[in-house]
Amino acid sequence: MMTPQEFGKIAKNPGSIALTTLPVLAYSRFGELCLELCKEGGRIAAYFARPLPQGDDLELFAIIARCWEGELLILRCTIGRSFPSLTPLCPQLHLFEREIAETYGVVPTGHPWFKPVRFHRPWRAGSDAWNRGEERPLPGEMDYYRVEGEEVHEVAVGPVHAGVIEPGHFRFQCHGENVMHLEISLGYQHRGVEQLLLGGPHPTSIYQLETVAGDTTAGHTSAYCMVLETLAGIAPSPRAEAIRAIALELERLANHVGDIGALAGDVGFLPTASFCGRLRGDYLNLTAEICGSRFGRGLMRPGGVGFALDDDLAARMLNRLHIIETETRGAIELFFDAPSALSRMERIGTLSIDDAEALGIVGLAARACGLTRDVRLHYPYGGYIETYDHCVIEDSGDVFARANIRRREIYKSLHWLKQSLRDLPRGELRRELPPLAADTLAVAMVEGWRGELVQVGITDAAGKFDRYKIIDPSFHNWSGLAMALRDQQISDFPLCNKSFNLSYCGFDL
């Protein structure tokens, strides 16, 4: 049993807690509590370290989401050069522990899959978890899982792929057409975002957050603004919050519509591929009507938003939405009404609910396996408070489920959007941001179109970021894609990949 003296609790989103009120546990107790909470249905939302001001030790933080209670529990402890890995008992920690090892050169002993994550030098000189020496590690250089046998072959793809997409390396262990195992090695897009944010907020920071994952600009920038605002002790006006939520839903619509088009293209159903390709642009153009940028650049600013959405513009957007809604429904229903297209998606790339839960899958990929995971539902924030009640769940976990989640979310989102544009609350666009609280940990969560975005900022005595942690849904979900590929035909990889449509740069940071 845990006692309230052993953890910190945040019950709102965004929320913060003073570091002085956060107890420091021994690692053994910290591990026990992590495992206990995860066994009781908790989920690792964030798990990261920061160096202590003196000495070699690190401070480790676990932020555990208890969704149905709507709260986050925060555990804290110190670790030395090595610590026993919790991954064997709690698989959703596997990447978090590897990330900590790569960043600070510490070793989680007994980690069953101990490989680099992004292939960069450790942040602290003279310590490398894999003893790779002073030379910069080469991307993709690690031991890959291999299946041996006379009839077994290996297919390696990337980093440069065939399409206009981001780079990553994929290795398939195949027996004939059948994929026995897929290993995904990323890091090619690593730009050092978290390192650049240290000592911030800097004037450059918001621009880097806008491009953590360019297709999730509204998502990542709203989470960042929420972290700053909770640290500064303010909240944006209801109108600014409504505009943010509108931008988030437009981002969801553009990406979901585009993804359905791309899935249709992958199975050779060209009418929908072609209609949705165009319609995706129409949603991006609506975002550009608000802020001039199709990707929402310049819209989210700490304290509120950078652009007005007046009643006149809202009315014009509503008119436009009415037209493109009809066209969107027409394009999508055509696809979901074609048995030949559906049979290409059903029972392909299935991820079981148990695997999804064990790996900590989030967002639409989790909802497609029957897991109810939606930040808007469990941790409502800003413009979603009291307006969001339409969490969409499917249970078959296959490509079809991930496509159908998108279809249903598109319709729900359109409905929500029209309602919100009609009832825009009043308020100023942007409020002045007071200085940030010192020695405080702040967490913000946003349901981006892929899933849960978590950002954690820890300030030092001067109110500057001593650590800033970004967790894109892709960080959890790439493992889901690898699992979904098991026992599939390798020719179905593009379809499975598109059904997840994960971010490379959001993972690589």
Using the structure block, give the residue that is written with the tokens 């969560």.
445
CA distance 357 to 171: 24
> Per CB under 8 A, does 191 bind other proteins?
yes
Task: Between 275 and 500, name the residue whose CB sits nearer to other proteins.
Answer: 275
Among residues 35, 157, 180, 196, the one that binds other proteins under rule CB under 8 A: 196
Tell me the window of 164-172, 229-237, 346-354, 433-441 that interacts with other proteins (CB under 8 A). 164-172
Task: Between 114 and 119, name the residue whose CB sits nearer to other proteins.
Answer: 119
Minimum distance from CB of 81 to other proteins (Å)?
24
Minimum distance from CB of 72 to other proteins (Å)?
28
Tell me the window of 80-88, 106-114, 160-168, 463-471 that interacts with other proteins (CB under 8 A). 160-168
Among residues 171, 190, 344, 402, the one that binds other proteins under rule CB under 8 A: 190
Task: Between 189 and 477, name the residue whose CB sits nearer to other proteins.
Answer: 189
> Per CB under 8 A, does 243 bind other proteins?
no
Task: Between 280 and 344, name the residue whose CB sits nearer to other proteins.
Answer: 280
Task: Between 254 and 399, name the residue whose CB sits nearer to other proteins.
Answer: 254
> Per CB under 8 A, does 6 bind other proteins?
no
Task: Between 91 and 261, name the residue whose CB sits nearer to other proteins.
Answer: 261
What string of H, E and C letters represents the secondary structure of 156-204?
EECCCCCCCCCCCEEEEEEECCEEEEEEEECCCCCCCHHHHHCCCCCCC
> Per CB under 8 A, does 213 bind other proteins?
yes
Output the six-digit token pair for 88.
């064997």
- 306-345 mask for other proteins (x: CB under 8 A)? xx-------------------x--xx--x--x--------
Number of residues that bind other proteins (CB under 8 A): 64
> Per CB under 8 A, does 505 bind other proteins?
yes
Rounded to a whole number of angstroms, the CA Rg of the chain reads: 22
Contact between 180 and 186 (Cβ < 8 Å)? no
CA distance 49 to 468: 10
Please report the DSSP string for 270-334 in residue order.
HHHHHHHHHHHHHHHHHHHHHHS-TT-TTTEETTEESS---HHHHHHHHHHHHHHHHHHHHHHHH
Contact between 145 and 181 (Cβ < 8 Å)? yes
Contact between 417 and 250 (Cβ < 8 Å)? yes
Interior/surface letters 142-167, b for 16+ CB within 10 angstroms, e for the rest: beeeeeeeeeeeeeeebbebeeeebb
Task: Between 32 and 289, name the residue whose CB sits nearer to other proteins.
Answer: 289
CA distance 13 to 226: 8
Task: Between 379 and 493, name the residue whose CB sits nearer to other proteins.
Answer: 493
16: helix, coil or strand? strand
Contacts of 172 (CB under 8 A, 6+ apart): 154, 155, 156, 157, 179, 181, 182, 485, 490, 493
Residue 78, strand partner residues: 59
Among residues 239, 297, 373, 450, the one that binds other proteins under rule CB under 8 A: 297
Among residues 127, 293, 396, 489, the one that binds other proteins under rule CB under 8 A: 293
Task: Between 136 and 175, name the residue whose CB sits nearer to other proteins.
Answer: 136
Using the structure block, give the residue that is written with the tokens 């291999």.
146
Among residues 204, 343, 352, 419, the one that binds other proteins under rule CB under 8 A: 204
Among residues 290, 401, 454, 482, the one that binds other proteins under rule CB under 8 A: 290
> Per CB under 8 A, does 370 bind other proteins?
no
276-412-293 Cα angle (round to 5): 55
> Per CB under 8 A, does 451 bind other proteins?
no
Contacts of 40 (CB under 8 A, 6+ apart): none
Tell me the window of 116-124, 405-413, 436-444, 479-487 that interacts with other proteins (CB under 8 A). 116-124
> Per CB under 8 A, does 70 bind other proteins?
no
> Per CB under 8 A, does 415 bind other proteins?
no
Among residues 39, 146, 278, 347, the one that binds other proteins under rule CB under 8 A: 278
Contact between 15 and 425 (Cβ < 8 Å)? no
Among residues 164, 319, 432, 461, the one that binds other proteins under rule CB under 8 A: 164
Contact between 216 and 448 (Cβ < 8 Å)? yes
Output the six-digit token pair for 446.
């946003």
Minimum distance from CB of 508 to other proteins (Å)?
8
Task: Between 1 and 162, name the residue whose CB sits nearer to other proteins.
Answer: 162
CA distance 228 to 457: 8
> Per CB under 8 A, does 281 bind other proteins?
yes
Contact between 254 and 284 (Cβ < 8 Å)? yes
Cα→Cα distances 204→201, 210, 291, 482, Å = 8, 10, 19, 35
Rule CB under 8 A: which of 424-443 touch other proteins? none
Tell me the window of 113-121, 375-383, 441-449, 460-468 that interacts with other proteins (CB under 8 A). 113-121
> Per CB under 8 A, does 358 bind other proteins?
no
Using the structure block, give the residue that is written with the tokens 């007994």.
110
> Per CB under 8 A, does 58 bind other proteins?
no
Q: Given the rule CB under 8 A, which residues bind other proteins?
A: 118-120, 136, 139, 159-160, 162-167, 187-193, 195-196, 202-204, 207-208, 210-215, 217, 258, 271, 274-275, 277-278, 280-281, 285, 288-295, 297-298, 306-307, 327, 330-331, 334, 337, 503-505, 508
